[in-house]
Structures are given as C-alpha cells and as structure tokens.
Amino acid sequence: MIINMKKVLVLILAASMLMLTGCERVADLVRPDEADKEVSNPVVEPDKTEQTTPETEEPKTRIVLSKTLNMTNEWTIMGDYSIQLTKSGKKDRVILATSARNVNGEMEWDDSQYWTLAVLTEKGAYNLYYQRLQGVVYAEINEAFIRGVATPVITVYAFSGTDRDIRNYTYSYEEDAFIEDQIFTTKVFSTGGINTIYSTFPEYRAR
C-alpha cells in the first residue's frame, strides 16, 4: 500500500511538472512588449481607412481625397452629374464608370469588369467605390433630411450573379471625407453567395 502511494505521488508530481512546462512554452509565444500593444486601424484600400464610432461601435469606412482616379481614359462613363458636395464651395462632379468599352454604340461586356464611382473636385478625387464583379452597378443621389438638414447621400447598387450590395456615402465637413455605410448585402443570409435565376433590373445601353 505504501509503494502504491509513492507511485501516485510520483505521477502527480510528474503531471504537475508537465503542466508548468506547457504554460511556460505558451507564455513564450507572447512577447511582453506586444502583449498590451493596440492594433492600429487597418487600411481597406488606398485612401480608405476604418474607424470605430463611439455611438455604434461599428467600423465605418472613411474615403479621403486622392490625387489619382481609379480609372483610365478608355473606360466608359455610365453616369455623370454635377452637384456641390464638399466644402470647396463649388460644384463637384459625380461619375460612375466601367472598364467595359463602348464600341460604335455597343457595350462590350466581359465576364467581369471593373466599376468605379468617384467624386471629382479641383484638388483631386474621392474614390468611393471600386470593384470588379460579374454584373452591373447603378448609382443615385438623394437628399436625406438628417436632424432637419437636407444632406446629399450617394447610393450605390451593385448587382452581380452571386451578390447584392447597397452602400450609402455621405460627406463629413469635419473630417473632409466621405463616410461609407453598407446598407444591405445578401452575404448576411447566404455565406455561399446567391444564384440569380430571374431579375427585372434594366440592362445598360451604350450612351
């Protein structure tokens, strides 16, 4: 009986040593100088950053002014409208364009193409939306009455064969940036995407 108790004590001691050794090895993976380091806001795209607002605790994407425009001269402009949006005091130009080419009045659609929505000013461009997708993108500008003030809101509707994506963009005078707010995406209820079998959305025609 005494021998058995000694064996039990030896086993308990060995197990304790293994547990302590294991904890030390895990602790070695965490560097003391990095344990309390805060993670900086990630960069989403060029000229885009995410920040967390105290009111909602949800990340918001800010689009700041850029010196470059996410398109080339070969792209086809699908929408073009002038309206004062920024604090420049002058009318800005809102354009929606695609990399699909307009050849002799006919649109040459590929399996997928790039789409961009941008606000052009005298100092540069706010590249609000820039995606490649198998589908089409529409945009509209509305006046939304926020706290009694008429505020222009740019809305993007992206329709592809696997997803629906709706986003709003509003300009912040305090930050001199556009704030992106994703209103809806089919990914919230279909992680594997969707398969469109019928739609009444109109097709684009060459301008």
61-to-47, 111, 128 alpha-carbon distances in Å: 10, 29, 10
Angle at 27 between CA 22 and CA 30, to 5 degrees: 145
132 shares a domain with 94 = yes
85 shares a domain with 13 = no
User: What pLDDT is recorded for position 90?
Assistant: 94
Is 203 domain-assigned? Answer: no
User: What pLDDT is recorded for position 142?
Assistant: 97
93 shares a domain with 14 = no
60 shares a domain with 144 = yes
User: What pLDDT is recorded for position 58?
Assistant: 66
Please give the residue range of the domain that contains residue 18.
2-33
User: What pLDDT is recorded for position 46?
Assistant: 46
What HEC string does the chain produce? CHHHHHHHHHHHHHHHHHHHHHHHHHHHCCCHHHHCCCCCCCEEECCEEEEECCCCCCEEEEECCECCCCCCCCCEEEEEEEECCCCCCCCEEEEEEECCEEECCEEECCCCEEEEEEEECCCCEEEEEEEEECEEEEEEEEEEEECCEEEEEEEEEEEECCCEEEEEEEEECCCCEEEEEEEEEHHHCCCCCCCCCCCCCCCCCCC
User: What pLDDT is recorded for position 34?
Assistant: 32
User: What pLDDT is recorded for position 203?
Assistant: 81
84 shares a domain with 182 = yes
Residues of the chain with pLDDT under 50: 1-3, 5-46
With beta carbons less than 8 A apart as the criterion, state whether 66 and 45 touch: no
Number of domains the chain contains = 2
88 shares a domain with 8 = no
Is 131 domain-assigned? Answer: yes
User: What pLDDT is recorded for position 111?
Assistant: 92
Is 193 domain-assigned? Answer: no
User: What pLDDT is recorded for position 16?
Assistant: 42
